[in-house]
Amino acid sequence: MLENIRFYIVYLALLSGIIGLIFYYKLPNNKAKSILVMIWLSFLVEFLGIHFTKWTGQINFFIFNFYILISFSYYIFLLKLLLKKILYKLVATIFLVIFILFYIINQILIQQSFNQTFTNSFTLGVFFILILSCLYLIELFNSEKILNFKRSIYFWFILGILLFHIPYLPFILAIDWFLIERVESIYSLVLFVLNFLMNTCFIVGFIWTEKKYNY
């Protein structure tokens, strides 16, 4: 039973995407709208991940590995746009370049097959977004926006991706790097719970946000 619960993650992403469309009018510019696009992309990836093997008989690792490249590049770029200090923006730009180059090098020289999870790239991506998210939160809490930070879709989106990626990283590293046995029921449950937390943040963000705080 539990080993199949991760297949319901696609419905969490779908629900977030639908609620995002309902409150689309609160997203005033391309920066804000890009969050909704990213959520729908995650739905598409989950949908393809579930059905790709059924349709083709092939392993679907390459779908999620490609999503690692797209999603972390987007997270870093979005945080760059949200950061105010020139130094912080420069750090974000450097992180983005390093991440893309590392992803390519990792695929060619280290993890040379798409038939495995690109754990190295995932780890670096989490490390980068954690640093940039801390910088974003420091700026946020030291600005006038602190009074209405819960009205910003950006706060809820960043919180959501942190709540998923920070706990998931040590879990996946324990499996891939330390060869801890992967129990499918536990893996599926952890993946579902973390996705539930992340998408709950997205949904709350769309409902609570106000347009004037999303510029």
Tokens of 162: 């942190």
> What pLDDT is attached to residue 117?
78
pLDDT in the model for residue 103 = 95
pLDDT for position 27:
97
- pLDDT at position 3, please? 72
What pLDDT was estimated at residue 136? 97
**pLDDT in the model for residue 135:** 97
**pLDDT at residue number 118:** 85
Can you give the chain as a three-state secondary structure string? CHHHHHHHHHHHHHHHHHHHHHCHHHCCCHHHHHHHHHHHHHHHHHHHHHHHHHHHCCCCHHHHHHHHHHHHHHHHHHHHHHCCCHHHHHHHHHHHHHHHHHHHHHHHHHCCCCCCCCHHHHHHHHHHHHHHHHHHHHHHHCCHHHHHHHHCHHHHHHHHHHHHHHHHHHHHHHHHCCCCCCCHHHHHHHHHHHHHHHHHHHHHHHHHCCHHHCC
The whole-number mean pLDDT for each consecutive block of 10 residues of the chain, a chain of 215 residues, reads: 81 97 96 98 92 71 90 98 97 98 91 76 96 96 87 97 95 74 81 97 97 93
Predicted pLDDT of residue 33: 97
For residues 165 and 125, what is the distance between their CA atoms, to the nearest angstrom?
Answer: 9
Query: What pLDDT sits at residue 114?
Result: 67
- Residue 76 near residue 132, CB atoms below 8 Å: yes
pLDDT the model gives residue 90: 98
Q: What is the pLDDT of residue 56?
A: 72
Report pLDDT for 42. 96
- Residue 197's contacts (CB-CB under 8 Å, 6 or more residues apart) are 160, 163, 164
Q: Looking at residue 181, what is its pLDDT?
A: 65
Per-residue pLDDT at 146: 83
Q: Identify the pLDDT of residue 111.
A: 75
